[in-house]
Amino acid sequence: MLASVLLILVALLRGLVAPLLLVGAVVAVWGAALGIGGLVFGPLFGFEGTDPGLGLLSFVFLVALGVDYGIFLMHRMREESTAGAEPAAAALTALRTTGGVIASAGLVLAATFAVLTNMGLVQLVELGFVIAVGVLLDTFLVRTYLVTSASVALGRKVWWPGGLSKEPDPPRPERQPEPV
């Protein structure tokens, strides 16, 4: 499943680094959400363990949702980079133009999955909690900060091996120390 998602992202973003960054971020979110779930289910809810299918089901949902949000952000960054924007400006414009949509969708989706925590089945409680936490982590931390800052740090190399990666990054102005 992950390989097919990666291939689609490679075709869409015309590179390899940006898709690997998005897939890596989604896998990290999944692991963090499962970890938080494990910390909450036993000590707070008194569950004796998690449902064996929780990992797979939450993975499917979080990969689909996380990659979807990542496509919005990275595609917009690519458009800005293609138009000549330097990486930091492209990232800021992408966040400014897609951030509201991604945040709104993330909140609605997290609230929707959180409803499952009110069901009587332990499996649904766990699934709803892990996916809601994962969507919130992805939307407000990973997508906004980690993916964006990693993209800026990589500069145009984030689009490697595509044509955009071959253009040099614009020179960064040197910061002058401020007088004290």
Q: Residue 169 pLDDT > 70, yes or no?
A: no
Q: Examine residue 149 and state whether it is found in any structural domain, yes or no.
A: yes
Mean pLDDT of 105-127: 91
Q: Write the CB contacts of 32 (distance below 8 Å, at least 6 apart in sequence).
A: 134, 137
Q: Examine residue 150 and state whether it is found in any structural domain, yes or no.
A: yes
- Taking every pair of Cα atoms in the chain, the longest distance, rounded to a whole number of angstroms, is 63
Q: Examine residue 1 and state whether it is found in any structural domain, yes or no.
A: no
* Segment 70-86, tens digit of pLDDT: 899 999 999 999 888 88
Q: Residue 141 pLDDT > 60, yes or no?
A: yes
Q: Examine residue 104 and state whether it is found in any structural domain, yes or no.
A: yes
pLDDT at site 73: 92
**Residue 48 or 124, more confident:** 124
Query: 3-state DSSP call for residue 56?
Result: helix
Q: Examine residue 170 and state whether it is found in any structural domain, yes or no.
A: no
Q: Which residue matches tokens 């800021």? A: 92
Q: Residue 142 pLDDT > 80, yes or no?
A: yes
Q: Examine residue 41 and state whether it is found in any structural domain, yes or no.
A: yes
Query: Distances in Å between the alpha carbon of 154 and those of 18, 21, 150?
Result: 10, 11, 6
Q: Examine residue 12 and state whether it is found in any structural domain, yes or no.
A: no
Name the nearest CA neighbour of 69 among 167, 139, 15, 136. 139
Number of domains in the chain: 1
Residue 35 host element (H or E)? helix 17-41
Q: What is the band of 162 on the pLDDT scale with cuts at 50, 70, 90?
A: confident
Domain with 106, as residue range(s), is 17-164
